[in-house]
Amino acid sequence: MKRLTKGKNKIVMLLTLADMFTWGPFLIISALSGIYLSSRLGVDAIKFVGIGTAIYFSTRAIFQIPMGVITDKIKGDKDEILLLATGIILMGLPYTMYPLISQPSHYYILQFIFGLGACFNVTNWRKLFAMNVDSGIEGFQYAFYETMISFTTALISVLVGTLASLGQTHFDVIMIVSGCIMMLGSLWALLIYSVKKRKTNIKKK
């Protein structure tokens, strides 16, 4: 009980909530994307998904180091928080546009946007989390985060899987709603500004 009380770090909680909204829906939706796209792009959907996945990871690979270098040069954490929120929005936005996909190029553009958003998200989220964990209970706080993400993903997987099996119309709605839920994660990131006493809220001379 004492460890749980000590572990009530508001920044850790907000970052965990941001990821629950962002990565919770993504993990199951990404697994179903191949099935969804096959009905829109035909039998070659697997090939298109492979190319789209390459675009996503290549985009992350190209932009992540410059992102880290830039945020390291700016003191304080306002840039990381703003970029994290922006990244979450960019990650959710493509899924709201999935029902508009009619050719592979549309999917590739959305994957590029998603990759850029993931770059903004992952680099800045990890930096904020690592710098705000409490000394002595780092393991507990990382484990708490992983536990919450796992439970959220499990719950969403059952719900999405059930709804997706009802037909294409429901599948379209699921994609749009999932994208909107992901973007709502940006609100939790922005709420970090309201926590004045945070380790990263320091301006060094």
Does the pLDDT of residue 139 top 50, yes or no?
yes
Region 130-139: mean pLDDT is: 89
Q: Using alpha carbons, select from 151, 155, 60, 62 the residue that is nearest to residue 114.
A: 60
Does the pLDDT of residue 4 top 50, yes or no?
no
pTM above 0.85, yes or no: yes
pLDDT above 70 covers a percentage of the chain that reads 91
Domain 28-194 fold: Growth Hormone; Chain: A; (1.20.1250)
- Residue spans of the domains in the chain: they are 28-194
What pLDDT band is residue 43 in, cutting at 50, 70 and 90? Answer: low
